[in-house]
């Protein structure tokens, strides 16, 4: 059986990396769309930004508070930025960040393929 050369292995890893990035982007889109209603007249509640104070922060469930505290420190961050701080998976942080947006504690903006979350009004 032919052994893969280091070059072959490197190319394979790069291909896997690109696939993961594509999957992450698709997952981002899937996680975002159901949570915000682009059509307010449909009757479903539109995401409403309230921001949060420290008492609200303390009342959050532990897993969301951890994410919110990172945003307090970084001010604006992507799911990947937050996951580096919390050591949780990027997709998990993306879910938590979007939950915080739905609950009105965070805002988000898109820049190219990336989504950034922030707490400033």
Q: How many residues bind other proteins (CB under 8 A)?
A: 19
Q: Please give the structure tokens belonging to residue 103.
A: 């609950």
Residue 107 within binding range of other proteins, rule CB under 8 A: no
Question: What gap in Å lies between CA 61 and CA 67, rounded to an integer?
Answer: 10
User: Bridge partners of 108?
Assistant: 117
Given the structure tokens 């604006």, which residue do they identify?
Answer: 76
Residue 64 within binding range of other proteins, rule CB under 8 A: no
- Residues written for the chain: 121
| Contacts with other proteins, 2-41, as mask; x by CB under 8 A | ----------------------------------------
Residues 43-62 that bind other proteins (CB under 8 A): 50-58, 62
User: Bridge partners of 50?
Assistant: none
Question: What gap in Å lies between CA 98 and CA 93, rounded to an integer?
Answer: 8
Minimum Å gap between C-beta 54 and other proteins is 4
Residue numbers of the site for other proteins (CB under 8 A)? 50-58, 62, 65-66, 69, 72-73, 75, 119-121
């Amino acid at each position: 059986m032919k052994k893969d050369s280091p070059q072959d292995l490197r190319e394979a890893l790069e291909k896997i990396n690109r696939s993961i990035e594509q999957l992450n982007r698709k997952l981002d889109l899937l996680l975002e769309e159901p949570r915000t209603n682009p059509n307010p007249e449909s009757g479903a509640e539109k995401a409403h930004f309230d921001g949060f104070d420290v008492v609200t922060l303390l009342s959050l469930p532990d897993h969301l508070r951890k994410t919110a505290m990172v945003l307090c420190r970084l001010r604006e961050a992507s799911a990947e930025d937050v996951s580096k701080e919390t050591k949780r998976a990027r997709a998990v942080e993306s879910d938590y960040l979007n939950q915080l947006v739905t609950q009105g504690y965070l805002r988000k903006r898109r820049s190219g393929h990336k989504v950034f979350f922030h707490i400033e009004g």
